[in-house]
Amino acid sequence: MKQPVTTSLKKIFWLTPALVAGLAFTSCSTDTKSTADQTTTTPDANNSATTNAGNTAGMADVKPTGPPPAWAPNIAPEMLAVIEKLDSLSGPTPPHKLTPAQVRKAPSFKDALQAVMTKYNIPMTHTGVDTMSQMVQAGVKVRIYTPRGATGTLPVIVYYHGGGWVIANLDTYDASARALAAKTNAIVVSVAYRQAPEHKFPTAHNDSFAAYQWVLKNAASFKGDPNRVAVAGESAGGNLAAAVSMMARDKGVQMPKYEVLVFPIAGYDVNTPSYKEHVMSKPLNKPFMEWFFKYYLRSAADGKNPMINLVDANLKGLPPTTIIGAGIDPLMSEGKTLADKLEAAGVSVNYKLYPNVTHEFFGMDAVVPQAREAQDLAASDLKAALK
């Protein structure tokens, strides 16, 4: 039964710099040569901690040191604290003035989040998840997250990380993958697709679809149920998740049962209302999005491709969808437009907007309360679809 598109203007904790960095709660570089590059199926050393679902201890104490910036006068204080830390770590040069190699090595929002957590003695969340890495094909790896102690055959969520198809990696978005695994009691397969400028469009999209097909064929080997598979992603990863659903539909491959798109890149128009309102927001803004398009797309014509320009694509027959938006985000307008277009195409949509947070807030539940709300929403919808 189709449910209406709804907007929930709840209190939101805002996220740290989305596309420049990582959501992992463990300290690591955003350089592409990370633990995501393992090819052996060995347990992740980061999982030695005791299982927990997240601790609010210290969260209420997180405060920014200065006033809200002009570009976000209503930003949530916890989010601002992380952004301030990111600014102090990053220096004066904006990422769109750097090369991809430089941005990959620069301090990320993951590093800023870790610094805030350390300052306020906030523990890691969702440590009760075991991981192993697996090679899917040349250049494409996955990290498989399994809730510790889970028994029987579990549903599977294929997850695609953000980074504008250019930067970030599995470590950067580790926190999001862990949260989804812990909160859904499902196996999360996080995909390390090849990135630009070394690999231009449509490489990341084709890699993502290949990884999805690999999961369908191999789920049983890691105790996953191939008949209960969903897709999810953040930012560029949200774009990839939707594109994978479209490719599955068009190629006659088993469709995902559900998709969760978190502040997805859904269009190529950089003059939407939210682009104009948040032209200099952080961690994502108009110049940075133009930078991503420049490095990933072969030409402006690629920007009109349905896999990039989702808002003008054929959306009929896609899986039921949850779209999570951030209010301080140049991608806000296209996310809402995508929700409206999906609903018009007959797809069941649950749309929620979190107004006082920025792009990339989703993985920051250790510090930002609204991230926990958004994760709970995504997990609830996924569990209902995959039961």
Of 126, 161, 205, 359, the active-site residue reads: 359
**Residue 225 near residue 219, CB atoms below 8 Å:** yes
The one catalytic residue among 44, 207, 329, 381: 329
Measured in Å, how far apart are the chain's first and last C-alpha atoms? 16
Catalytic residue check, 126: no
Catalytic choice (34, 176, 235, 333)? 235
List the beta bridge partners of residue 354: 326
Mark whether 171 is an active-site residue: no
Picking from 117, 43, 116, 107, the residue whose alpha carbon sits closest to that of residue 81 is: 116
Closest CA to 328 of 278, 379, 263: 278
Upper half-sphere CA count for residue 203 (Cβ side, 13 Å): 20
Q: Is 359 a catalytic residue?
A: yes
Report the alpha-carbon distance of residue 332 to residue 11 in Å, rounded.
16
Helices (H), the chain: 77-90, 100-105, 109-119, 174-184, 203-218, 236-251, 273-277, 286-296, 332-344, 369-386
- Give catalytic residues, as residue numbers: 235, 329, 359
